[in-house]
Amino acid sequence: MLQAPKPFVLGGFTTGDCDVPASGRPFLTPASVLPSMLVLENLDQTILSNCGSLEEQQDFQVPEFEEFNGKADSLYFNDGQRRIDFVLVYEDESRKETNKKGTNEKQRRKRQAYESNLICKGLELEATRSVVDNKLVFVKVHAPWEVLCTYAEIMHIKLPLKPNDLKTRSSAFSHLNWFTKILSVDENIIKPEQEFFTAPFEKNRMNDFYIVDKDAFFNPATRSRIVYFILSRVKYQVVNNVSKFGINRLVSSGIYKAAFPLHDCKFGQPSEDPSCPNERYLLYREWAHPRSIYKKQPLDLIRKYYGEKIGIYFAWLGYYTQMLLLAAVVGVACFLYGYFSQENCTWSKEVCNPDIGGNIIMCPQCDKLCPFWRLNITCESSKKLCIFDSFGTLVFAVFMGIWVTLFLEFWKRRQAELEYEWDTVEFQQEEQARPEYEAQCTHTVINEITQEEERIPFTACGKCIRMTLCASAVFFWILLIIASVIGIIVYRLSVFIVFSTTLPKSIDETDPIQKYLTPQMATSITASIISFIIIMILNTFYEKVAIMITNFELPRTQTDYENSLTMKMFLFQFVNYYSSCFYIAFFKGKFVGYPGDPVYWLGKYRNEECDPGGCLLELTTQLTIIMGGKAIWNNIQEVLLPWIMNLIGRYRRVSGSENIRPRWEQDYHLQPMGKLGLFYEYLEMIIQFGFVTLFVASFPLAPLLALVNNILEVRVDGWKLTTQYRRMVPEKAKDIGAWQPIMQGIAVLAVVTNAMIIAFTSDMIPRLVYYWSFSVPPYGDHTHHTMEGYINNTLSIFNVSDFKDISKADSDSGLGNYTTCRYRDFRNPPGHPQEYKHNIYYWHVVAAKLAFVIVMEHIIYSVKFVISYTIPDVSKSTESKIKREKYLTQKLLHENHMTKNMGIMIQKVAEVVDNNRRPKSE
């Protein structure tokens, strides 16, 4: 039988006698309350000293366990009264087949010390063995009313004061209510949440709060959050004055196998228990089920069930998806414009014309092994390029620069509304320090603001050293990513030689493979696939490295921790995903020299050249493969993997009906989400956001692909959370954290990248310069501009006899006798006084490109500034609600008490006056 800890009294909070019930698990019924401003560290030390040290608890015996005798979906202890707020799971050492006595005994002692300290904190525990595997023990945790009130005050949790009396403004589109009703969740199924004015809870002002039913005042999500707060701060061992505490460390060390709050019922059918809210079932039916894909998300119920942190993610993802609809429509329109106008693409016709492109002999694109080739073998790629490299591309790039600003500004307004509705406006100031941070606080300093002593984990010098080491580690891994990109470039240079020697040198119209597969296309596709595989492999390393660096950095709060990890992971992923795209867009083919004097990589590999039509099509291919491959891989990883793991787990377990297994055992066999589960969901979407905005000038269909993916992503994520994973610990969050400034940074960078893609990657500016300045006879005159002759104008002439021995190709290429070849550049022909130097057309084009970038950037940035200034971050209706809540808080929590105090003072004065008026004889 468990020995009860010694009774003690602390600040009015007594353990009583810690009676031991029949189950052998003592539980605590608090007789009073903790002071509202009690320091948690002092509380923990006192509890340890009163509850007994680890050594004093060595004689604890394994307690007897309660037999499960309730309903399968019961959320209560066996008495049917106390609600289960959390479940701890461990494997009984006495039932293990291979029992390492030393290790198991230490684990048992730590666990029993931890549970004893939980009891001293005021939590009530009940243990039950598994009905399937008797080695598993489920410890159910219940927080009594007094404990909930105490920690609600310590954690500054906002709770209802009175119902919200502000009327909701009618929508400007009220005449479309019939349509929105189809898209909305049926209010008869998921009833709207009642809105309240709220304030941070204070026990001494409990009567001011809207308490109709004590059992419903703290909803299950809040109860679980309070219990997790306690579980994360209770100690289980002190070694050399160093405390070890927290459920996370116990789970990671294997002392407990799991710790989680319960789902409230099965997802496929409602609970038979009339006291169960069946919120999981409602979420599955109206949100996660495929038939509800067209409906709006029930954000209030998502927030209520999973917490604000998950709620704000789905609110952001839904809003982002809605905004993508507009971008997708414009993108498809621009794509269709390019598709239908490709027949009028004069320069593509010249490439495909046997009398023009078929007679142009192109210079080899590598040394020795690469042959001469005819221009018309790039006919199909030039036709595709006309679709993406059109005037619609310019229009769409400008539109997307404005779209991203509208999205970010309107999201800020929506986020401000959610902050008010979900009571997270002042959450940042309420956040507590992480347990891992508190455990390392060994240095004492004077707080400059309060002028009081406070403990910190390291000195300013120590912090500087840590930051330097962290920055060095991040820089090293970024260099490693760049090295992998260089490896891909070397692969491109090497494999291009192979494709050039093996693929045909002229087109056979009857062979579809020869028609579409050019050396450039084959190299681009294979390199993109290999690049995607390397990206996926490196991602597994970056995750662990970023977590290790952030843990070493030791941020103070959970928000600081996640923001720091976010910046590191995004920096890694940014370089990992986008570096190959930046190379193709801005470096490939830009520094190649000319056939007589080529530029070499590492002194060995000749720099890679673009297709005669430019590198834009290759950039489009790269984006398509990475975006499509990433979406498919993520769906496999996020959906199929947990589903298969749960399926395997069901087959491995001893046969038992789902109907007789209790709720906690059913949830235990689901997959754990992990604390960083939501982080990866954000990261996936932000990387997609980068592809949609940074390189959209090369791929106007990117928003459409993102839209389709996100429509599925919302429901897939909902299905995954509701059916395949344990319920996550509800957490507060006022916004999307560091992802907001990251998106703003991407939006600023997107303007520059798209302007430079149009200027330096596409062929639009050279064509415009030729059209307006150089289309002269015999192709046109000064009054009639034409694109005829453009291809001949953009290909310079090289004398074959001027090849160096190192790069001279075999002249026997089957293309006939020739003394010159052509290459993509604007240089003077052989025999010119400035032979092979850049001609005047080149400098016209460079000037036009620079002018275009500057003008486009300034125009879009000016529009973005006007939009940002015009649209306020907080709407007027939200401002009025916030002011109204502050007014009510002041009135109810301060003026009422002042009135009471004034009444008491008046009563006392009246008594004194009355006493003075009485005759002295009395």
Convert 379-438 into a string of H (helix), E (strand) and C (coil). HHHHHHHHHHCCHHHHHHHHHHHHHHHHHHHHHHHHHHHHHHHCCCCCHHHHCCECHHHH
Whether 760 shows a pLDDT value over 70: the answer reads yes
**How far does CA 786 lie from the centroid of its chain?**
50
Residue 518 is encoded by which pair of tokens? 């050019």
pLDDT classification of 873: cutoffs 50, 70, 90: confident
731 and 679 Cβ atoms separated by less than 8 Å: no
d(CA 715, CA 638): 12
Q: What is the pLDDT of residue 359?
A: 87
pLDDT higher than threshold 70 for residue 693: yes
Dihedral, 759, 763, 769, 770 alpha carbons, nearest 10: 170
pLDDT exceeds cutoff 70 at 328: yes
| Mean pLDDT, range 788-803, rounded to an integer | 87
Is the pLDDT higher at 643 or at 218? 218
Per cent of the chain over pLDDT 90 is 20
Residue 531, amino acid: S
Q: DSSP assignment, residue 655?
A: P
Write the pLDDT tens digit of every residue in 2-12: 333 333 322 22
CA distance 62 to 19: 17
Question: What is the pLDDT at residue 371?
Answer: 78
- For the segment 316-335, the average pLDDT, to the nearest whole number, is 94
d(CA 15, CA 149): 17
pLDDT of the residue at 319 = 94
295: confidence class by pLDDT, cuts 50, 70, 90: confident
Residue 261 has a pLDDT of 94
Would you say residue 230 has pLDDT above 70? yes
**Which of the two residues, 314 and 64, has the higher pLDDT score?**
314
Which of 723-727, 739-743, 910-914 has the lowest average pLDDT?
Answer: 910-914
* pLDDT the model gives residue 102: 63
Whether 272 shows a pLDDT value over 90: the answer reads no
Q: Using the predicted structure, report yes or no on whether residue 60 has a pLDDT greater than 60.
A: no
Q: What is the pLDDT of residue 32?
A: 31
Asked whether the beta carbons of 118 and 134 are under 8 A apart, the reply is no
Does residue 253 carry a pLDDT above 60? Answer: yes
The pTM score is 0.81
For residues 479-485, average pLDDT? 79
Q: What is residue 14's predicted lDDT score, i.e. its pLDDT?
A: 30
Whether the predicted pLDDT of 675 surpasses 90: no
Q: Is a pLDDT exceeding 70 seen at residue 252?
A: yes
Give the Cα separation of 231 and 218 in Å (integer). Answer: 18
Whether the pLDDT of residue 918 is over 80: the answer is no
Tell me the C-alpha distance between 569 and 680, whole Å: 10
What pLDDT score does 743 carry?
A: 92
pLDDT in tens, 808-825: 665 555 556 778 899 888
Which 3-state string (H, E, C) describes 196-254? EEEEECCHHHHHHCCCCCHHHHCCHHHHHHHHHHHHCCCEEEEECCEEEECHHHHHHCC
pLDDT band of residue 37 (cuts 50, 70, 90) is very low
Alpha carbon distance 531, 518 (integer Å): 20
Model confidence band, residue 458 (pLDDT cutoffs 50, 70, 90): low
Instruction: Name the least confident of 149-153, 560-564, 632-636, 915-919.
Output: 915-919
pLDDT tens column, 572-620: 888 888 888 888 888 887 888 888 888 887 667 777 777 666 688 888 8
**Could you report the per-residue pLDDT of 489-544, keeping only the tens digit for each?**
777 777 766 766 665 544 444 455 555 566 666 777 777 788 778 877 877 777 78
Q: What is the pLDDT of residue 181?
A: 67
- The pLDDT value recorded for residue 772 is 82
In this predicted structure, the answer to whether residue 44 has a pLDDT above a threshold of 90 is: no
Distance, in Å, from the CA atom of 315 to the CA atom of 418, rounded to the nearest integer, reads: 9
pLDDT at 257 over 50: yes
Rama region for 271: left / alpha / beta (φ>0; ψ in -120 to 50; rest):
beta
Rounded to whole angstroms, how far apart are CA atoms 37 and 155? 10
Flag whether pLDDT at 428 surpasses 80: no
Strand duo 124-129 + 136-142: pairing: antiparallel
The confidence score (pLDDT) of residue 209 equals 85
- pLDDT tens digits, 348-358: 888 888 888 88
Q: Can you give the pLDDT at residue 816?
A: 60
Closest CA to 338 of 377, 394, 378, 380: 394
- Cα gap 322→313, rounded to integer Å: 14
Residue 127 β-bridge partners: 139
Q: Please name every residue paired with 242 in a beta bridge, in sequence order, or none if there are none.
A: 239
The pLDDT, as a whole number, for residue 528 is: 75
| pLDDT (0 to 100) of residue 140 | 93
- Report d(CA 535, CA 576) in Å as an integer: 6
Question: For residue range 73-95, what is the model confidence (pLDDT) as tens digits?
Answer: 788 888 888 999 999 999 887 66
Using CA atoms, how far residue 172 sits from 175, 177, 576, 789, in Å, is 8, 10, 45, 56
Confidence bin at 172 (pLDDT 50/70/90): very low
Residue 29 has pLDDT above 50, yes or no: no
Who wins on pLDDT, 270 or 98?
Answer: 270
| Confidence at residue 500, expressed as pLDDT on a 0 to 100 scale | 62
Residue 311 has pLDDT above 90, yes or no: yes
pLDDT of residue 265: 86
pLDDT of residue 331: 93
Lowest average pLDDT, out of 524-528, 702-706, 792-796, goes to 524-528
Q: Is the alpha carbon torsion for 665, 670, 676, 677 positive or negative?
A: negative
What share of residues in the chain are helix, strand, coil (percent, to 5)?
A: 55, 10, 35
Among 331-345, 417-431, 665-679, the least confident range: 417-431
pLDDT of residue 167: 59
pLDDT at 813: 52
Domain ranges of the chain: 878-911
Residues 380 and 520: beta-carbon distance below 8 Å? no
Return the pLDDT at 242: 63
Average per-residue pLDDT for the chain: 77
Which pLDDT value is given to residue 74?
81
d(CA 320, CA 291): 21
